Amino acid sequence: MDSDIGSRSWHAHAKINLALHVTGRRPDGYHLIESLAVFTRFGDRVEIAPADSDEFTVSGRYAPAVPLDASNLMLKARDALRQTAGHERTPPVAIRLEKNLPVASGVGGGSSDAATVLRGLVETWALDIDGAELARIGLSLGADVPMCLAAKPLV
């Protein structure tokens, strides 16, 4: 990735489920699970930089499979954090994804990318949002996002 002035980048680690146990089903059809997950040193790379307007670009081997529209979990993460913090405190940013993990492969790439965007934007925008609030925002995006915010072995 090329770096612009004011840009920062973060590693979005792949997640591996070592054990997964389905414990039930929620009323909305999603499964309740218990899992043991670890994070690898492999993953995607997310870069965030100040911009005149919001931008989202993707490069890398698996870039063609990444949606560039509002269905993208990274953009949903940006928008959810912006809604929580307020638009006046969250100026436009350019988000660049180097997609090294296969899409929909079960390694949590999308969830990890979204979690990395949340962490990166809290830093970029200098927001005073605690871990519990960030986890709440993450959970609104997907069940794996709070786990990916921690990016350490969890049950």
Tokens of 17: 């489920």
Domain count, the chain: 1
Q: What is the CATH number of the domain that holds 72?
A: 3.30.230.10
What confidence score (pLDDT) does residue 26 get? 84
Q: Give the tens place of pLDDT for each residue, 91-147.
A: 999 999 999 999 988 887 899 999 999 999 999 999 999 999 999 999 999 888 998
Tokens of 44: 């995607």
Contacts for 27-31: CB closer than 8 Å, 24+ residues apart: 30/143
Nearest to 97 by CA among 81, 115, 74: 74
Q: How confident is the model at residue 45 (pLDDT cuts 50, 70, 90)?
A: very high
| Residue 132 CB-half CA count within 13 A | 0
pTM: predicted TM-score of the whole model, two decimal places:
0.89
Give 24's DSSP letter.
E
Range of the domain at 123: 8-12+43-149
Known catalytic residues are: 15, 144
Residue 20 maps to a domain: no
* CB-based contact 78:53 (threshold 8 Å): no
